[in-house]
Amino acid sequence: MENKKLIQSEIQKLTDELNRHNYNYYILDQPTISDFDFDMMLERLAALEKEHPELIRPDSPTQRVGGTITKQFNSVAHKYPMLSLGNTYSEGEVRDFDQRVKGLVHEDVEYVCELKYDGVAISLIYENGFLIRSVTRGDGMKGDEVTANVKTIKSIPLKLRGDYPPFIEVRGEIILPHRQFEKMNQEREDIGEAPFANPRNAASGTLKLQDSSEVARRGLDCRLYYVLGENLPEDNHYARILRLKEWGFKIPEVMEKVSGIDQVINFIHQWDTERKKLPYDIDGIVIKVNSYTQQQQIGSTAKNPRWAIAYKFKAEKVASQLLSVDYQVGRTGVVTPVANLSPVLLAGTVVKRASLHNADVMNELDIHKDDFLFVEKGGEIIPKIVGVDIARRAPKNVKLLFISHCPECGTPLVRQEGEAAHFCPNELHCPPQIKGKLEHFISRKAMNIDSLGEGKVEILFDNGLVRHIADFYQLTYSQLLGLEKRFPETENQKERILSFREKTVENILAGIEQSRQVPFERVLFALGIRYVGETTAKKLARYFKTIDALSGASKEELLQVEDVGERIAESIVAYFNKTENLEVLIALKNAGLQFEVSTQLQHSSSLLSGKTIVVSGLFSVPRDVLKEKIEQYGGKNTSSISKNTDFVLAGEQMGPEKRKKAEKLGIPIISETDFWKMLEE
């Protein structure tokens, strides 16, 4: 017992200390510890928590990395309705707002000007200093509870500091900064998923992911703009937002208190220009009456407060003539139509190309040959085609139809049910698909052969030295030495000549040699199976342990793996049904690549060996802790109950359907306490 007390106090100390460092880093921007030392401390805490899951604290920084799986988001009523703001689009309307406000308060009014973040509204509930719940706006009266996902956002405190009130609700906007947005879309395109159209959609999609560790990877951020509660300190909005800082929140970097409508208009002008330099999207300015007493005097309608208003920036719009449509074929064969436009200046940049996304979008826009297209750029980073100037269309010009055959290899294109994208099914012989696969294989998160990057793969492909991924392992010094290619100048790069001298060749061969040690899960990702991203590859590797088990798995078995749905399962089965793929796998195996999880990961004990277990309900520890334990003891986690299930580990509020099914099939249901006892024994 004494020992447990010591551990509890160490967990407490580490949690507090790590939270303090997180605060220094994310809120104050003044780290006082090296990343390495931080990671060591975090590792120590995670190890202690793993041994003693009952001692994990709700504000533990380990929750930042996610791990919780939410199957269904609970609908939760808002304590105070989540109103939206009335919109204005002109200076005149902003002045009208000022007049209305003054007509109601009959005294001087101070305004606070803020940025209008283009993201997803969120409500954060803190009780006794702990973040206990986080809910989306929903219909304004009730929203979805997304707490596990929100906890992964580093700028949101899990535990407040200083002299905080016993209850507060803080509202703000979850945003996805440009850098993270671009990275995420690149990754999506890499595995054959349609990219998100803008950061707002991406933030909203990310917030609704079931796997919080995936949310943690994507890099959401948050900006706060509203504080609610009872008997809170301060009698005005501005001061209360500043208070948030004392309680450990990161407060908006831009917020200005002004005393007349002219200053409001100045703020609008200033940010209409400066927004282009912000690392995230904003779509306007929000103007709020500062004094709470005045806010109450002014009141609200059912939908909007009357004491605040949004000014929306005008998206700049120009018309430009369509020169042609390119159809780009990506690594997984997805075909994306891109409009080539007569160059126009738009919001400070010259636009020559804009994505038309897919056949549905093209069809809805009803694009005809030589049309003048309206291109818009608002607070967003990407120019968007929003319509056609029909008045300028010549009657003879025909409607443009999406192509039926691959522009690169001539294969008829396929469109799967429920998918917006067309794709070229000739994955083994279509040149951009082969090249894309080769590039994916060597990429950092896959085999990480960085000595082969930046155009070198293209040279190998053009010279017929590499046709499929296994060919990398047959390359010889003499084949490589002296290869050369001239890359003409492009929009982003000057002309360059790449030539393979001694040192380059040595590096390439050494990189290939080292890649033979890359662990199985990354090899699996590197194979480039459609829809199998990094996370899915990891889960598959852990579940099946060897490529032989995976390649022999039926669709039903694949569906047992967490996060694997119909689409992924079908794609995996199809991959292993192709003889060509099996040949490549044999060649890679002969080359000595890792096709099994390392023995270390296999299991440290065989107590649950061969047992198939379903974990369902709420537990005192994150569900992943239990799942990891099961794996560590040799068991298998599955998501649905079948006759092959050995037992169900049931927490509170386990779904009634699941319970019924388990009872019907006569499968034992054990409690969390029994489970820990079982492991102890």
Q: Tell me which residues touch ligand IVH (CB under 6 A).
A: 83-85, 114, 116-117, 121, 173, 225-226, 286, 305, 308, 310
Phi-psi region of 108 (alpha: psi -120 to 50; beta: other; left: phi over 0): beta
Separation CA 17–CA 15 (nearest Å): 6
- For residues 303 and 567, which CB has a smaller minimum distance to ligand IVH in the complex? 303
- For residues 116 and 538, which CB has a smaller minimum distance to ligand IVH in the complex? 116
CB atoms within 10 A of CB 629: 20
The closest of 160, 198, 165 to 180, measured between CA atoms, is 198
Residue 305, classed as helix, strand or coil, is strand
- For residues 57 and 116, which CB has a smaller minimum distance to ligand IVH in the complex? 116
Q: Could you tell me the smallest distance in angstroms from the CB atom of residue 84 to ligand IVH?
A: 3
Instruction: Spell out the alpha helix ranges (H) of 208-354.
Output: 212-218, 237-246, 261-274, 292-298
CB within 8 Å of 464: residues ≥ 6 apart: none
The closest of 195, 102, 108, 213 to 152, measured between CA atoms, is 213
CB within 8 Å of 487: residues ≥ 6 apart: 455, 493, 495, 496, 497, 498
Residue type, 245: K
Q: How many helices (H) and strands (E) does the chain have?
A: 25, 24
Q: Could you tell me the smallest distance in angstroms from the CB atom of residue 92 to ligand IVH?
A: 20
Active site residue 116: yes
Separation CA 156–CA 150 (nearest Å): 8
For the record, the structure tokens of 513 come out as 């040699």
Question: C-alpha angle with apex 259: 256 to 263, nearest 5 degrees?
Answer: 70
Q: Could you tell me the smallest distance in angstroms from the CB atom of residue 292 to ligand IVH?
A: 13
Q: Could you tell me the smallest distance in angstroms from the CB atom of residue 301 to ligand IVH?
A: 11
- For residues 69 and 207, which CB has a smaller minimum distance to ligand IVH in the complex? 207
CB within 8 Å of 182: residues ≥ 6 apart: none
Instruction: Spell out the alpha helix ranges (H) of 52-177.
Output: 91-105, 147-150
- For residues 171 and 522, which CB has a smaller minimum distance to ligand IVH in the complex? 171
Residue 194, classed as helix, strand or coil, is coil
- For residues 289 and 614, which CB has a smaller minimum distance to ligand IVH in the complex? 289
- For residues 205 and 651, which CB has a smaller minimum distance to ligand IVH in the complex? 205
Q: Could you tell me the smallest distance in angstroms from the CB atom of residue 85 to ligand IVH?
A: 4
Question: C-alpha angle with apex 416: 413 to 422, nearest 5 degrees?
Answer: 40
Residue 326, classed as helix, strand or coil, is strand
Q: Could you tell me the smallest distance in angstroms from the CB atom of residue 135 to ligand IVH?
A: 13
CB-based contact 391:376 (threshold 8 Å): no
CB within 8 Å of 443: residues ≥ 6 apart: 190, 526
Separation CA 254–CA 238 (nearest Å): 12
- For residues 228 and 678, which CB has a smaller minimum distance to ligand IVH in the complex? 228
Using CA atoms of 579, 580, 583, 587 in order, give the dihedral in degrees to the nearest 10.
-160
Q: Could you tell me the smallest distance in angstroms from the CB atom of residue 200 to ligand IVH?
A: 10
Q: Could you tell me the smallest distance in angstroms from the CB atom of residue 196 to ligand IVH?
A: 18
Q: Could you tell me the smallest distance in angstroms from the CB atom of residue 348 to ligand IVH?
A: 23
Give the active site residue among 5, 13, 50, 116: 116
- For residues 271 and 500, which CB has a smaller minimum distance to ligand IVH in the complex? 271
Q: What is the DSSP letter of 641?
A: -
Q: In what order do the strands lie in the sheet with 255-258?
A: 87-88, 308-312, 282-289, 111-117, 255-258
Q: Could you tell me the smallest distance in angstroms from the CB atom of residue 250 to ligand IVH?
A: 14
CB within 8 Å of 392: residues ≥ 6 apart: 319, 371, 372
- For residues 84 and 640, which CB has a smaller minimum distance to ligand IVH in the complex? 84
The closest of 34, 64, 36, 35 to 49, measured between CA atoms, is 64
Q: Tell me how far the alpha carbon of residue 14 is from its chain's centroid.
A: 29
Task: Give the residue numbers annotated as catalytic, written as ranges.
Answer: 116
